[in-house]
Structure 1
Amino acid sequence: MSTPEALRQLLNAVAQGKVSPDTALEKLKYFDFEPVEEFAKIDHHRALRTGFPEAIWGPGKTPEQIAQIMQTMRQRSRVVMATRIEPAVYDQVRSLVPDAVYYPMARICAIAPLTLTPVHPGTITLLSAGTADLPVAEEAAITAELAGFQVQRLWDVGVAGIHRLLNNRHFVQTADVLIVVAGMEGALPSVVAGLADCPVIAVPTSVGYGASFDGLAALLTMLNSCAAGIGVVNIDNGFGAAVLAGQILRTASRITVESTPPKGVP
């Protein structure tokens, strides 16, 4: 399915009734990728398959490569996002992509509408244990907003001053899905999961003194949590946490729609 002729044959088969539209859709989900010179192949149909478009991992790529990939992706996508972009790299990317915007705390460079309007139901609520965790927390928040989700933030509510969290219990009690970001010993997700009736996604960060082992201590704490209902992503992986939270909300919405009986049916 990688040539115009193959696509033409598929469309003719649909027109002739030999292939159903649903079967054709399944085939097209794996149809399209586009090379960018010899260093990248853009997966344009990832959003069709998974619900989320491909994102650009910034480290290891030159600013010129990032800019070329973004310019190629923008032809098919409403939003194009590159992660882990340092300010100096962004300056060079912007010289090639003038309308690229930058979210400095999240270290995300994007081509996106000026106003990000949520298009999916539900709210992703983000909590951070400390101010030092904000780069990872904001990476999750901006990723979710660029993907079309409503986001609410509650920062610096770690267990060292637990009253800060308890005074904001409504954030936890009204959440549809929670992302909890913490470094040091990583205890905050366990506390939050004991208060929440929704999924909790725990994100360990590499914040902490020497024995935190660059986030390994927080990761192990979260994996060993005594509270149920916690999923754990990799160290500093705010992007992955946002995608998982979005998948949870999208799946919940789909199940709700599919299980709703037609009007007049009990």
Structure 2
Amino acid sequence: GSAPAGPARVALVAAGSSDLPVLREAERTLAFHGRAAHHVVDVGVAGLHRLLRRIDELRGFDVILAFAGMEGALFTVLGGLVDVPVIAVPTSVGLGVGQGGRVALQSALSSCAPGITVVNIDNGFGAACAAVKLLNLADRAHPLRGVRATAH
């Protein structure tokens, strides 16, 4: 891997600080692939104003990885507000009826916001790998945009 170069094109959005271990796994995976990431933390829908205050900033990224446990409402809200790919990462936050992340996973899978991609519970690595592939595809389509564009 290489150190991240160029501007961050991936936003890592966490509902709360309990989601940070999975977010950090995704961040390390992106860094290994030379991709910088920008954090937006503590924007869960229980305080919707916090997310809305940052939404214009989030619309500037090419890919958003969203991390949430509990009921996973962040995925649908974010997916309805941005026009870039959102990769939902359900986290095992939330006890009891949250079933170790299964409720957030089911929420992500049944979201009414179209176009959300979903990875398994606590799979920050898989989400980051999907983001890298999306960025690689975008770089091939627009070589001058990407940090690590390849000549064809």
2:149 matched residue in structure 1? none
Native 8 Å contact 1:137 1:181 kept in 2: yes
Q: Quick one: distance in 1 between partners of 2:57 and 2:101? A: 26
The aligned amino acid for 1:250 is N
What fraction of aligned residue pairs are identical, expressed as a percent? 49
The aligned amino acid for 1:118 is A
Any idea what the Cα deviations from partners look like across 1:166-221, whole Å, max 9, x if unmatched?
11112321110000000000110110111111000000001002101111000000
1:174 to 53, 60, 65: 60
2:128 to 225, 242, 252: 242
Native 8 Å contact 1:202 1:230 kept in 2: yes
Say whether 1:224 aligns with 2:95: no
1:118 matched residue in structure 2? 5
1:70 matched residue in structure 2? none
Match of 1:165, SS? helix
2:50 matched residue in structure 1? 164
1:203 to 63, 69, 89: 89
Q: Quick one: distance in 1 between partners of 2:55 and 2:94? A: 26
Native 8 Å contact 1:125 1:171 kept in 2: no
Any idea what the Cα deviations from partners look like across 1:41-99, whole Å, max 9, x if unmatched?
xxxxxxxxxxxxxxxxxxxxxxxxxxxxxxxxxxxxxx3xxxxxxxxxxxxxxxxxxxx
Native 8 Å contact 1:172 1:195 kept in 2: no
Match of 2:5, SS? coil
The aligned amino acid for 1:225 is S
Native 8 Å contact 1:205 1:218 kept in 2: yes
Moved over 4 A (4+): none
Native 8 Å contact 2:8 2:38 kept in 1: no
Structure 2, gaps ≥5 residues long: 144-152
| Structure of greater Rg | 1
1:189 matched residue in structure 2? 75
1:42-121 matched pairs, under 5 angstroms: 79=1, 116-118=3-5
1:50 matched residue in structure 2? none
The aligned amino acid for 2:4 is T
1:38 matched residue in structure 2? none
The aligned amino acid for 2:5 is P
Native 8 Å contact 2:108 2:118 kept in 1: yes
CA-CA distance at 1:145 after TM superposition: 1.4
Q: Quick one: distance in 2 between partners of 1:224 and 1:174? A: 26
Provide TM-score, normalisation by structure 1.
0.52
Say whether 1:127 aligns with 2:18: no
The aligned amino acid for 1:165 is L
Relative contact order higher in (CA < 8 Å, ≥ 6 apart)? 2
1:3 matched residue in structure 2? none
Say whether 1:148 aligns with 2:26: no
Native 8 Å contact 2:4 2:33 kept in 1: no
CA-CA distance at 1:229 after TM superposition: 1.5
Q: Quick one: distance in 2 between partners of 1:256 and 1:198? A: 16
CA-CA distance at 1:122 after TM superposition: 6.3
Any idea what the Cα deviations from partners look like across 1:93-134, whole Å, max 9, x if unmatched?
xxxxxxxxxxxxxxxxxxxx6xx2327x86111100011010
The aligned amino acid for 1:241 is A
